[in-house]
């Protein structure tokens, strides 16, 4: 998605440790018009996947997921993150490790908000090692519903998340695919 | 806002301890079309307030704030919540106590995302004791910028937050105003 790649080039910052900071438009400050364009793009990319509901993880997934939900006309559920949780029967939970923050969080979704015949679209801001997506796939598995699509805003294509998802056969779409952050420079995968 | 009041009546749940659960459309599952209507309504209510930027707090404020940002054509910044934070010079921080969760969080906003001549609109999902709004007012004060509006999705008008804001003279608009949750029933303030 050219608009997104241009924005990354313009205001994204490459930091030591293979970090791409996009807090100027995605995960701290948010550009609502860009989010709306991303929502439209997700709606187009997944229009044949028969999606009934979008799931994401708080907080950075919420803006793109809600915009996608608007243009796809489906509800959105954001999983809550907790350091730890007293387990109850009322929620699906999974463990998600963040390599960036080097901490583990439980994510949880209230069982009322996944229905037996749902066909889910997972949306997230970043795909690197694929931990958050794995957590949401685990939740879908517990709920015994199918995941028909995975939509990512920015994918680091050289990390293992991409391959992990490819192996599942689930329809994956990433709006921006990064080939490398070497030499403090963002290089995109050629389409 | 009738659409919102109807939704609250339809799927809101009153729980012991003066709690109104709206996790079916606002703060766990999200109704994107309702969020868009709320965004339009905020844009209408604050059209004369010369707003340059919206600030909110993760996570439940994000969806309504981003929709308001879309229709007002201004950027949105969501404050991050932390249990505690190593203070640096690069962020504004404030302490926010949650009566519901009985925990205290620091909220922080990167200094790059508030500009000297900003006129802020604070948006949040709930107004009860006004702690989150106070935290954001404190941040605006540190940044030496003015707050020209406060937009709330659901206000519990009988708690002290409403009065606290009224005393500041800042333009306050709440899309739904609750007079009481007595007898497990939601009663709205008559307009």
CA angle A98, B111, B82 (to 5 degrees): 40
Contact A120, A141 (CB under 8 A): no
Q: What pLDDT, on a 0 to 100 scale, did the predictor assign at position B73?
A: 98
Q: What pLDDT, on a 0 to 100 scale, did the predictor assign at position A102?
A: 85
Q: How far is it, in rounded angstroms, from Cα A170 to Cα A91?
A: 24
Distances (CA, A) of A178 to A5, A181, B132: 9, 8, 37
Residue B26 forms contact with A (CB below 8 Å)? no
Residues of chain A with pLDDT under 70: 84-89, 191
Contact B105, B80 (CB under 8 A): no
> Would the pTM of this model clear 0.95, i.e. be above it?
yes
C-alpha B28 chain-centroid distance: 16
Note whether A59 contacts B63, CB cutoff 8 Å: no
Q: What pLDDT, on a 0 to 100 scale, did the predictor assign at position B190?
A: 82
Residue B114 forms contact with A (CB below 8 Å)? no
Q: Which residues from A are below 8 Å from B24, CB to CB?
A: 112-113
Q: What pLDDT, on a 0 to 100 scale, did the predictor assign at position B84?
A: 67
Residue A117 among known ligand-binding residues:
no
Q: What pLDDT, on a 0 to 100 scale, did the predictor assign at position B191?
A: 59
Residue A134 among known ligand-binding residues:
no
Note whether A32 contacts B67, CB cutoff 8 Å: yes
Q: Which residues from A are below 8 Å from B51, CB to CB?
A: none
Residue B18 forms contact with A (CB below 8 Å)? no
Residues ≥6 apart with Cβ < 8 Å to A183: none
Coil, helix or strand for A54? strand
Q: How far is it, in rounded angstroms, from Cα A1 to Cα A155?
A: 12
Token pair recorded at residue A119: 């066909």
Residue B80 forms contact with A (CB below 8 Å)? yes
Q: Which of the four pLDDT bands, split at 50, 70 and 90, describes residue B82?
A: confident
Note whether B76 contacts A29, CB cutoff 8 Å: yes
């Amino acid at each position: 998605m050219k608009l997104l790649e241009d924005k990354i080039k313009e205001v994204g910052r490459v930091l030591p440790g293979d970090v791409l900071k996009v807090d100027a438009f995605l995960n701290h400050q948010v550009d609502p018009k860009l989010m709306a364009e991303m929502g439209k793009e997700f709606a187009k990319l997944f229009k044949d996947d028969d999606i009934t509901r979008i799931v994401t993880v708080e907080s950075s997934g919420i803006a793109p997921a809600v915009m996608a939900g608007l243009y796809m006309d489906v509800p959105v559920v954001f999983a809550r993150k907790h350091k730890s949780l007293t387990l109850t029967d009322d929620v699906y939970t999974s463990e998600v490790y963040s390599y960036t923050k080097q901490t583990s969080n439980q994510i949880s979704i209230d069982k009322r908000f996944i229905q037996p015949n749902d066909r889910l679209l997972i949306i997230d801001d970043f795909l690197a090692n694929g931990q958050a997506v794995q957590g949401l796939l685990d939740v879908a598995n517990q709920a015994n519903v199918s995941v028909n699509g995975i939509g990512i805003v920015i994918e680091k294509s050289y990390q293992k998340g991409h391959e992990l998802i490819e192996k599942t056969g689930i329809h994956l779409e990433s709006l921006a695919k990064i080939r490398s952050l070497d030499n403090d420079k963002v290089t995109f995968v050629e389409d």
